[in-house]
Structure 1
Amino acid sequence: MSSPLLELQLKPTHKPYEVRRAWRSLIEKFSHGSHKKQQRDEPIILFQRNVFFPQHLEEKIKDQRILELLYEEARRNILEGRYPCEVGHYIMLGGIQARIELGPYNSQVHSTHYFREEQRKYLPVHVRKSSTWTWLPISSKNSAEVRLLEQFKRIPTSATNRKLMRKYLEFCWSLPFYGSAFFEGQVEQPVRGLTSLITHQDIPVLIAINSKGVYVIDDIECTVLLGLRYEELSWDYARPSKEDDLNCFPCIFLQFIVVENGTRVSKILQIFSRQASLMDTLISGFVQQLKEKSSEETDRSYLNHLTGEGDNNHVSLAHGNVPHSSAALPTLTNKLSRLTLATFDEDGHCIGQMGSWSFSY
């Protein structure tokens, strides 16, 4: 059940009618929307990928009807900027989508002008040509509409929609945040200088959570600010300090290890969100799955060791919401300079604080 203010994945035990009856109280509790938006909010029921469904099984699906549903969901997330990627990738995906919807290239119809007028159908807003300049009769060779047309023309006339949808999905499957559930939140932006201190505001972000990890996304600029696999993070959930104050949000803390100036230090990001409890529940579910899988693999490895079969190279992963110093180092390119973080040494002493962080030792 989904609306612009809240998205809830229904469980088999949920009764949609009852959820709809309770919707007003749900958005009052979990939504960041204004009172006016809450009053106008109207949810819909839609088919959507189960966030717990294993991706390796999804990639084996042959049923075209299911693949079409998965394609439609992936296309929506691409066009809404929920799946950040390079501009060239957006152009490539837009060309595939255009070919699926328009059929083979027709020089009498599919011109640069056509794609300049229709690019909103195929590209997210941050990739499109500015609407301020759409009145110009010409396009530069590097403009979005020219590149989109070139990509569209390159697709062979023999390509079937089935193969094209599969190609589209194969690219999306390669994205680490594919198949995520999305939550609204906000983080503090770093204060730099007196002017920044005066105009200081929190940055609205999307938090994407799937079976692989947690990703903090600036969906306006369509970029990943922080991406962490579960092996790389520890987390905790905190209730608001003033539960009667509607402007005092609960939060999720994410802790991870980085190397600064040759020294391992621990960073903590605080994410404020009315949906923090939902995020905590989902993260806990995925971590529990990983614990069970790790335990099964450890038992299997131990059995192989006793029987002399296989190898014994398995290293069990530590998971939980208690910070641990043995976490693996993040491998994704994170934009830490754009986040307000607290820094701790390996002994747990705070050696750096920013924004509203205040620790005394």
Structure 2
Amino acid sequence: MDVSVAIVQLRQSSFADRHLSSPRDYDVYLVNHPSSSKQYPHGYLTLPRTKSFNAEGASEAALRFVSRLSHRLAKRAVEVPQWSTQCSRMRVNIASCFYIIPLLESESKSVRVIEKADFYNLEELLHVCLNRDDRIETESKHLIIRLEEWLGEQQARSAHFLASLFMRAPAHQRLRICVHNPAYSPVQSLHCFNIVGFSRVSDASKKSSDLEEEVKKGNKARVQMIRLEKYDALIINPIFGSGLRCHGSVFRPEYYANGRITRQKSSITSTYNGELWAQRYPLHKAAYDGDALLVKTLLNQGINPNECDSDSWTPLHYCAFYNRLKAMQMLLNFSASSVNIPNKTGATPLHFAALNANEYMVQLILSHPDVKIDARDKDGKMPIDHCKSVPRPEWQAIARMLANWTTVEKIQMDMMDGGNLMLPLNKGTDTTADDLKTLMCTELEMQADSSVCNLFAVWICSKRLSLQLKGDHKVLAHLKKWDQNVAKWGHEDVSVGEDRPRLVFRRDAKATLVQEEKAPLNERALILLYEEARENFLKGLYFCNDNDTILLAALLTRIIFGFDHKITDKTLPTVLPHHKIVQLKPTIAATIKKLQSCYNKQTTVNTLALQKQFLKICWSLTIYGSTFFETLLFMNKPIKDTLPVHAGINDYGLHLINSANMSLIITLPLKSIEFSHKPENPYINITSRSTGYALTLRTPQAGMIANLLKQVQLRVMK
């Protein structure tokens, strides 16, 4: 069997300078071979290799090899799995193995450096391996990278790993006493006499006459025990009763690898908690694992996708480096994500994707409209520079892709579930809302002319104003004059600072409930409608009775928290409107108990089915599907009053909600409404024949209310 050996020395300076050891604190022994092929014109470096013969174990072979280079025995030889997972390891032919020989810097001085061999810094070796430089032989590259990964994995499992590996005495020195059953194998007894008595002059005679006497006694005892049918086997614990400690009280340097989990001391006793990084940076951990669903959940909880961890990596860096496509797509689809944030070396996610020749990852990052393909790191290199110098097909293909990349202007379309899509502006400045709607329907697997697609429209939304675009409206033109539109129609909220517009794909204000109920909703359409209904419910805009409120809250709890969730007062803000929590505060315990009971009665398991159930309950509300405007109400009949309201308009009628306590004031059926509005006038007068109400709404969007009432009435009258 071939045995690859990594003789690794830990520099003594790492103990005094800091608590964390980095790759630069390790040196690895490599052999320089002369060139023997065109692939390596200048020679190449390899890890030392040896063979195990006959019954010799691989670890003994590794120690035997090192003993040739040193006048002293190495402490130990530890096997390093050549693959990170057992599945990968099972797929290869196990005709070779990999062992590490740990040495301290003072010990490595005794290693005889043969001609064309030397110790090389691990940090520099990793850089060469990751850049696919041909100075190191291919198999040795893999083993060096695997060595770095293994060191990190072992430290995450045990806080005492490095101390045990580099500083713990070898096994034969830790063996204080060995007690044998005289009936045990005399061969094993001889071995123990050789080990225990090796350094004791007084015990030297045991290797001759005394040992022969021990063997005779053992043979007699074995014969007697076999005769009595008592002899089977003896298992020896050599450290039982010896007083040895499991872990020595020695200084333990911790391990650091660029781009890996940062490990810190987690308590006064310096015990290391390998989960500290994951707890502090859950989004980074989800990106590292490629868990797209968890990434989406964490983003919806408000975690910043642009936060840098202690290694200055964002979640996008981890996705790009480890080729996590689905997680990267989820991050790029999130509107707040920035694709060009550099780490401390100046590398962006595109640098990492190009460095590792991940073709699909490069394409995915390039699809983002804000990506900078000419961004330079601190060495002055652009992403293409990491590929041009590597003479391999994968890297050359990436280099050609980056060189020939022509930026197609794209625009971001947000969705109600928190995601977004980047849509190409195929017609440039002439791209219309209908063009983008068609692209969205195609991406969401809706037919562009279907009844499902007709439920949605393109909106421009900001904090002070939301406008639904007509099909022939030119999107870029409306975005450019957004400030003028906000000044003209936006609500007067002086607390709003920057009012950046964004495109949103959401429910059409003119869509009717009948249309929605009859449409064959696919999964994406149902989710978008559910998310919009959930948002309006939590804002208190979907007024409903207490029983429906509890049922909707129970469904939300099941959707968000799954099964077996214990509802507390901290749960309520995510499933109940704020005004309801305020109203129910005196009886909050009873409300939680009632909600818990309703939650426990839910038997539906499928999330999509729960979302559909939530949506169907909302369909039963007369206010469902309303488009809301913030207005000031002047009531003339039946009473005189003035108060701020949310005015909602749908195919049922006009709904007025008190903005102060979110209570429903009145619903005026659409067929009984008469209204009048003068152009450029912020007032709209409304009367209802069936209820006798006469009122005036004041808002800069009065013209929009009048226009929407007119269009909805025409659609309902058909």
Range into which the TM-score falls when normalised by the shorter chain: 0.5 to 0.7
1:111 aligns with 2:575: no
Does the 8 Å contact 1:232/1:256 carry over to 2?
Answer: yes
Within 5 Å, which residues of 2 pair with 1:283-298?
283-291=709-717, 293=718
Q: CA deviation at 1:169?
A: 0.8
Cα distance change of structure 1 residues 131 and 20 upon mapping to structure 2, 3 Å threshold: farther
- Counterpart of 1:203 (choices 623, 628, 643) is 643
CA distance change for structure 1 residues 132 and 288 in 2, over 3 Å: closer, same or farther? Answer: closer
2: distance between equivalents of 1:57 and 1:228?
Answer: 21
4+ runs of 1 displaced by more than 6 Å? 130-133
Matching of residue 173 in structure 1 with residue 619 in structure 2: yes
Q: Which residue is equivalent to 1:9?
A: 468
What residue identity is the alignment partner of 1:166?
K
Question: Structure 1: which amino acid aligns with 2:590?
Answer: N
Cα shift at 1:210: 1.4
Q: Is the CA contact (8 Å cut-off) linking 2:676 and 2:706 kept in structure 1?
A: yes
Contact (CA 8 Å) 1:213, 1:230: kept in 2 or not? yes
Q: Aligned equivalents of 1:214 and 1:270: distance in 2?
A: 13
Aligned positions of 1:187-202 closer than 5 A: 187-188=633-634, 202=642
Partner residue, 2:661? 221
Percent same amino acid among aligned pairs?
27
Change in Cα spacing, 1:116 to 1:267, as seen in structure 2 (3 Å) is closer
Match of 2:531 in 1: 72
Report the Cα distance in structure 1 between the residues aligned to 2:690 and 2:641, rounded to whole angstroms: 26
Say which SS state the counterpart of residue 91 (structure 1) adopts.
helix
Counting only pairs closer than 5 Å after superposition, residues 89-104 of structure 1 correspond to structure 2 as 89-104=548-563
Residues 1:123 and 2:581 aligned together: no
Residue 528 of structure 2 aligns to which amino acid in structure 1?
A: L
The alignment status of 1:48 with 2:506, answered yes or no, reads: yes
Provide the residue aligned with 1:253 in structure 2.
685
Task: Tell me, yes or no, if structure 1 residue 31 matches structure 2 residue 490.
Answer: yes
**Residues 205 and 68 (structure 1), Cα distance of their counterparts in 2 relative to 1, 3 Å cut:** same
Counterparts in 2 of 1:186 and 1:129: CA distance versus 1, 3 Å? closer
> CA separation of 1:153/1:290 partners in 2, compared to 1, >3 Å: closer, same or farther?
closer
Instruction: Encode CA deviations 1:180-215: one digit per residue, 9 max, x unaligned.
Output: 11111101368xxxxxxxxx9941111111122211
So what's the TM-score if we normalise by structure 1?
A: 0.64
Structure 2 contact 629–647 (Cα < 8 Å) conserved: yes
Using a 3 Å threshold, how does the CA distance of structure 1 residues 173 and 132 change in structure 2: closer, same or farther?
closer
1:3 Cα deviation from its structure 2 partner:
2.2
CA distance in 2, matches of 1:222, 1:34: 19
Instruction: Give me the whole-angstrom Cα distance separating, in 2, the residues matched to 1:14 and 1:85.
Output: 36
Quick check: 1:252–1:271 contact (8 Å CA) kept in 2? yes
Q: Give the equivalent residue in structure 2 for 1:335.
A: none
Residue identity in the other structure for 1:10 = L
Please give the alpha-carbon distance, in whole angstroms, between the structure 2 residues aligned to 1:289 and 1:131.
40
- Can you list the C-alpha shifts for 1:240-288, whole angstroms capped at 9, x where unaligned? 7xxxxxxxx62111112357xxxxxx44111111110001111111222
Contact 2:510–2:711 (CA<8 Å) still a contact in 1?
no
Partner of 1:149: 596
Give the C-alpha shift of residue 6 in structure 1.
1.2
Q: Tell me the CA shift for residue 131 of structure 1.
A: 11
Deviation at 1:80, TM superposition (A): 0.5
Distance 1:283 1:150, change over 3 A: same
Query: Contact 1:87–1:127 at 8 Å: present in 2 too?
Result: no
User: Paired residue for 1:271?
Assistant: 697
* Aligned match of 1:336: none
SS of 2:647 mapped into structure 1:
strand
State the Cα deviation string for residues 82-121 of structure 1 (Å, max 9, x = none).
11112332221111011112222x2xxx224xx3112111
Q: Is the 8 A contact 1:186 1:205 kept in 2?
A: yes
Change (3 A) 1:119 1:141: closer
The residue identity in structure 2 corresponding to 1:255 is T
**Cα shift at 1:132:** 8.8
Which structure has the greater CA radius of gyration? Answer: 2
Letter in 1 for 2:557: A
Q: Which residue is equivalent to 2:427? A: none
Q: Which has the higher contact order (CA 8 A, sep 6+)?
A: 1
Larger deviation: 214-223 or 167-176?
A: 214-223
Per-residue CA shift, 1:31-54, capped at 9, x if unaligned?
A: 2224552x5222322221112223
How far apart, in 2, do the equivalents of 1:68 and 1:203 lie? Answer: 35
In the alignment, is the contact (CA less than 8 A) between 1:2 and 1:44 conserved in 2? yes
8 Å Cα contact 1:31/1:275 also seen in 2: yes
Distance 1:168 1:129 in 2: 23
Give me the whole-angstrom Cα distance separating, in 1, the residues matched to 2:702 and 2:584.
37
Deviations 1:318-356 (A, max 9, x none): xxxxxxxxxxxxxxxxxxxxxxxxxxxxxxxxxxxxxxx
Matched position secondary structure for 2:501: coil
**Structure 2 gap ranges (5+):** 1-459
Distance 2:712 2:686 in 1: 15
Distance 1:231 1:281 in 2: 15
* Distance change (3 Å), C-alpha of 1:132 and 1:155: closer
SS of the equivalent of 2:697 reads: strand
Contact 2:675 2:686 (8 Å CA) reproduced: yes
Identify if the C-alpha distance between structure 1 residues 129 and 280 changes in structure 2 by more than 3 Å, giving closer, same or farther: closer
Match of 1:236 in 2: 676
| Coordinate RMSD, CA, aligned | 2.7
Q: List per-residue Cα deviations over 1:299-329 (Å, max 9, x = no partner).
A: xxxxxxxxxxxxxxxxxxxxxxxxxxxxxxx
Distance (Å, rounded) in 1 between the aligned partners of 2:700 and 2:499? 17
In structure 2, what is the equivalent of residue 281 of structure 1? Answer: 707
Letter of the structure 2 residue corresponding to residue 274 of structure 1: P
Mapped partners of 1:94, 1:230: distance in 2: 30
Q: Distance in 2 between matches of 1:233 and 1:188?
A: 16
- CA 1:226–1:131: 2 relative to 1, 3 Å: closer
Structure 1 match to 2:479: 20
Given the two structures, how large is their TM-score scaled by the length of structure 2?
A: 0.33
Alpha-carbon offset, residue 153 of structure 1: 1.4
Q: Distance in 2 between matches of 1:230 and 1:129?
A: 32
Cα distance in structure 2, aligned partners of 1:30 and 1:62: 34
What secondary structure is seen at the aligned counterpart in 1 of 2:542? coil
Instruction: Give 1:239 shift.
Output: 5.2
